Amino acid sequence: MAAAIEIELASYCASVSSRARAASQLLAGLSGDIKNRWLIESARQIEQASTQIAAANAVDLANAPQYGLTDAEIDRLKLTPDRILQIASGLREIASLPDPVGEVIEGSTRPNGLQISKIRVPLGVVFFIYESRPNVTADAAGIAVKSGNAIILRGGKEASHSSQAIVEIMQSAAVDCGVPVDAVQLVNTTDREAVGQFLKLSQWIDLVIPRGGESLIRRVVAEATMPVLKHYDGNCHIFVDRNADVEMSIRVIENAKCQRMGVCNALESLVVHADLADRFLPLLAKKLASHSIEIRGDEEVQRLIPTAIAATESDWSREYLGPILSICVVNSLDAAIEHINKYSSRHTDAIMTTDLAAARRFVTLVDSAAVVVNASTRFNDGGQLGLGAEIGISTDKFHARGPCGLRELTTYKYVIYGDGHIRN
């Protein structure tokens, strides 16, 4: 019986993936006009179906207590009429972005007359694993198809009815607009084994993007037979250099730590130059106390901030996602760079300084996806950096680093035109 269910699941996942592959081959030949028409039509139909979407969402909300969702999670799950309008306008925004497919990245005519172009093309099929916010369903589908890819959506069970309602509308708009209906598919089983099955199907799936807790992402990386676009966590640093503007630094640290604590680009660890520590840390401590932030520091920090508790070695690597900040004092810029390159999750690290040479050295030697000078770490975000739409953030160095939008879901091919050229 268990074996029969397993075979059924494997065959379901293979069917979804091979249909996504077939859809992706059709998408590769589709004009930007058709993809944009689909995005705009999806937006229109989502607005029109606002009542049905809200009804589906009500089922998810009614089920929420049985999944043990927190109040904050229930709030994120909830689709008000206004939020449904936002989903639609998100799709219209994606339609308004430039089409990455077909972009001539570079090209040349060789001395023998052979004409070479490097042309941007879709990756193919994306398998996207995410959690409970239903607006992500529409966003991810829009970004994937706009960049010419078919997408297989594996959302959280908590939002399954809401996501199903949205995907059905986008599929119906696909039929209306000449987009293959299998361009967007929602996995209709909540069986945890389904993820493992999909991760085996590298012949049909080109990329997997897991979004969620670190344990989910580690499982996906361990099992995937295709590339994974991901970040595990965001242990983001700010280094306050000896010549930093104190008032500016406190303002930026307050923003980076306190504006939104539960996100990957929030500040988690502060590094302070010894020359400035005496003057700076007591002032900072006062500001952070007003936000009830717990400080975990090294000996020097504990000396300067009496309320600070002792940091352990593991604190330097931790992503708190809450009202805790680790702080250490260093004797030089290079010691700060070394500390950050050792403990950072290579997501976002910043320096506060008025010294141009220090800024240039920090920017060159800190090996992170985003390196920031005199601004909040919270700016490492697709929208803030001008990508227009974001499907995830990568802390890997391979393929794409930092926020990933339309272009990051593409690859390229060499296109070579000749007149019967042969090689000598």
| Residues engaged in binding its own copies (CB under 8 A) | 25, 28-29, 108, 110, 114, 116, 121, 123-124, 206-207, 227, 245, 248, 251-252, 254-256, 259, 341, 359, 361, 363-365, 367-376, 378-380, 384-386, 396-399, 401-403, 411-423
Structure tokens given for 211: 């979004």
Residue whose tokens read 């504990």: 302
Nearer to its own copies, 194 or 369 (CB): 369
Nearer to its own copies, 92 or 251 (CB): 251
**Rounded to an integer, what distance in angstroms lies between the CA atom of residue 133 and that of residue 258?**
23
3 burial level (CB within 10 Å; 0-12, 13-18, 19+): exposed
- Cα distances from 190 to residues 174, 244, 346, 361, in angstroms, run 25, 51, 33, 49
Q: At what angle do helices 32-48 and 134-146 cross, to 10 degrees?
A: 160
Nearer to its own copies, 59 or 248 (CB): 248
Nearer to its own copies, 71 or 106 (CB): 106
Alpha carbon distance, N-terminus to C-terminus of the chain: 64
Nearer to its own copies, 251 or 318 (CB): 251
Q: Which long-range contacts (CB under 8 A, 24 or more apart) does 256-260 make?
A: 256/350, 256/376, 256/377, 256/378, 257/288, 257/291, 257/293, 257/325, 258/288, 258/291, 258/293, 259/376, 259/378, 260/378
| Nearest distance, CB of residue 388 and its own copies, angstroms | 12
| Nearest distance, CB of residue 117 and its own copies, angstroms | 9
| Nearest distance, CB of residue 102 and its own copies, angstroms | 8
Q: For 349, how many CA atoms within 13 A lie in the half-sphere containing its CB?
A: 28
| Nearest distance, CB of residue 236 and its own copies, angstroms | 13
Q: Count other Cβ atoms within 10 Å, centred on residue 219.
A: 17
Q: Which residues have CB under 8 Å from 314's CB, separation 6+? A: none
| Nearest distance, CB of residue 408 and its own copies, angstroms | 11
| Nearest distance, CB of residue 108 and its own copies, angstroms | 5
| Nearest distance, CB of residue 95 and its own copies, angstroms | 21
Nearer to its own copies, 83 or 361 (CB): 361
**Rounded to an integer, what distance in angstroms lies between the CA atom of residue 317 and that of residue 145?**
37
Contact 138, 162 (CB under 8 A): no
Region at 148 (left for phi over 0; alpha for psi -120 to 50; beta for the rest): left
Nearer to its own copies, 64 or 343 (CB): 343
Nearer to its own copies, 113 or 322 (CB): 113
DSSP 311: P
| Nearest distance, CB of residue 398 and its own copies, angstroms | 4
Phi and psi, residue 179, nearest 5°: -95, 135
| Nearest distance, CB of residue 391 and its own copies, angstroms | 15
Nearer to its own copies, 11 or 25 (CB): 25
